[in-house]
Chains A and B, each alone.
Chain A
Amino acid sequence: MPVQHLEQIFQQKIDNETKIEAKDWMPDAYRKTNLRQISQHAHSEVVGMLPEGNWISRAPSLKRKAILLAKIQDEAGHGLYLYSAAETLGQSRDEMINDLHSGKAKYSSIFNYPTLSWADIGAIGWLVDGAAIMNQVMLTRTSYGPYARAMVRICKEESFHQRQGFEILLVLSRGSAEQKSMCQDAINRWWWPSLMMFGPRDSESTNSDMSMKWKIKRKSNDELRQNFVDMIAEQIKVLGMKLPDDHLQWNESRNHYDFGNINWDEFWNVVKGNGPCNKQRLDARRKAHEEGRWVREAAIAYAEKKNSKLKREEAA
């Protein structure tokens, strides 16, 4: 069958909301775009464990420690669901992880910021996971079946993350003067990087947009960012805190909140590897990978030994 014909059938399926499955024919660029996006998403879940891991041993109570551990365990699981989805597109997990460690593959820049106080754990849950949820809820309807299914599972677990984050901040916001200022400080530091998570402005590109046509994405960066601002601008009232943006204002005619300019130089700088923790994060990942090598090898050796023993017994 000529390629144009295959592409037509493919686009028809997408237009009819039929999911694309792993063994279906797909254009090369569709495969590549999904592979890049899903693996970056997986890497983000995995690297995302690092800033939070910083506070496991310093969580203020046993309850908070148990919750944080459960949350971080979820993130590892999310990474696994996503690596599995990416593997269906023909790249091995080993290769993907190697690309992360070599710096070739990227992860969400938000995780290159440090977690300086306990309130940061609350801000991450509320703002960072909140932003991620906006994107992930949209992605439950993405056109590639394995990715969409992974997203459904992730979204189910993610709402606990956001709620526990908000609750951490809520407790601090009702606490001592020092706790209140800790809460505000964390919000100040995480607000703008959270807005950057949605990526560059829509106007940055004039190219026709295949990601939309292929329904990998269904909402633009600016749409998602606006939804996020509208949501957070209301929720922060409950905390009695302030978002660090003097331009934040309800706009009656747009039915949305207006907000100030994002520092895009900072965004690209962190993407390029010059954020506060880029090096630290990658070093931690590489170290964990290298130091875990003997475990992976020992497990394989043990499995092989058991298998050959089993075979000998069967033969006897």
Chain B
Amino acid sequence: MKNNFLQKFYYGDIPEEKGASGQYTTSHDTTQWPLWEVFIRSKNGLDHKHAGSLHAADAQMAIENARDVYTRRMEGVSIWVVESKYITASNPEEAGELYEPAMDKIYRHPTFYELPDEVNHM
């Protein structure tokens, strides 16, 4: 149903049914290079931060590709790569239960404590 609304074509959004570029079929590659997540440390003293992902046959190639793609303008001094399949992510649907216990413990925040103005450096 909803698809009926999406008939307005924006820049970079070209209707698929309007195409006729000839017949071409190719066999898929038998194996795809696995997907890797890339983490970059932008300078010493900072954490590695997720930069994006890429495909590579092995870890060494993943590092080399990450250098080519994510550090062309001196964005990094250190790269981590990890195969995406090894990352376990929390489920956003369980976010309520997962983070709820932190909500009612406001005494964990320094602003919970009211101190006289004379107290400095605290």
Using CB atoms and an 8 Å cutoff, list the residues of chain A in contact with chain B.
21, 23-25, 27-29, 32-33, 36-37, 40-41, 44, 70, 73-74, 77, 80-81, 84, 87, 92-95, 98, 101-109, 131, 135, 149-150, 153, 157, 197-200, 202, 204-205, 207-211, 217, 220-221, 224, 268, 271-273, 278-279, 282, 286, 289-290, 293, 296-297, 299-300, 302-303, 306-307
Give the complex CA separation of A262 and B88 in angstroms. 51
From known contacts A36-B16, A102-B25, A210-B6, infer whether A84 and B53 are also in contact, taking CB-CB under 8 Å: yes
> Across the interface, which residues of B come within 8 angstroms of A40, CB to CB?
12-14
Given contacts A101-B26, A297-B29, contact A106 B53 (CB under 8 A): no
Give 9 closest A-B pairs by Cβ, nearest first: A103-B21, A299-B57, A29-B2, A106-B14, A303-B58, A205-B8, A303-B57, A210-B5, A273-B21
Contact of A211 with B58 at beta-carbon distance under 8 Å, contacts A23-B92, A103-B22, A300-B31 already known: no
* Other 17 A-B pairs with CB < 8 A, given A37-B13, A95-B28: A27-B2, A37-B12, A73-B72, A84-B54, A98-B26, A102-B24, A102-B26, A103-B24, A106-B16, A107-B14, A108-B12, A108-B14, A199-B12, A204-B8, A210-B6, A271-B18, A272-B20
With A and B bound together, what is the CA distance between A15 and B6 in angstroms?
19
Contact A207 B8, beta carbon cutoff 8 Å: yes
Main secondary structure of the interface of A (DSSP, over half): helix
Per the 8 Å Cβ criterion, residues 16-67 of B in contact with A are: 16, 18-26, 28-33, 35, 52-55, 57-58, 61
Does B98 have its Cβ within 8 Å of any Cβ on chain A?
Answer: no
Give the contacting residue for B55; candidates A93, A109, A221; CB below 8 A.
A93
Report B-chain residues with C-beta under 8 Å of the C-beta of A209: 5, 8
25 intermolecular pairs with C-beta atoms under 8 Å apart: A32-B3, A37-B12, A40-B12, A40-B13, A44-B12, A74-B72, A77-B68, A80-B69, A81-B69, A84-B52, A87-B53, A93-B32, A102-B23, A200-B9, A207-B7, A211-B6, A217-B10, A220-B10, A268-B18, A272-B18, A279-B22, A297-B31, A299-B58, A299-B61, A307-B58
Determine the chain B residues whose CB is within 8 A of the CB of A271 once the complex forms: 14-15, 18-19
What is the CA–CA distance of A84 and B31 in the complex, to the nearest angstrom? Answer: 18
Residues on the B chain within 8 Å of A98, using CB: 26, 28
Which residues of B lie under 8 Å from residue A197 when comparing CB positions? 11
Answer whether A290 and B26 are a contact pair too, CB < 8 Å, given A81-B52, A108-B12: yes
Q: If the complex has contacts A44-B12, A104-B19, A106-B19, are A300 and B33 also in contact, measured as CB distance less than 8 A?
A: yes
Q: Is B120 an interface residue when CB atoms closer than 8 A count as contact?
A: no
Is B111 positioned at the interface, with any CB of A under 8 Å from its CB? Answer: no
Please give me the residue from chain B that is nearest to A93 by CB atom. Answer: B55
Q: Identify which of B54, B91, B92 contacts A80 (C-beta below 8 A).
A: B54
Q: Considering only CB atoms, which chain A residue lies closest to B12 in the complex?
A: A41
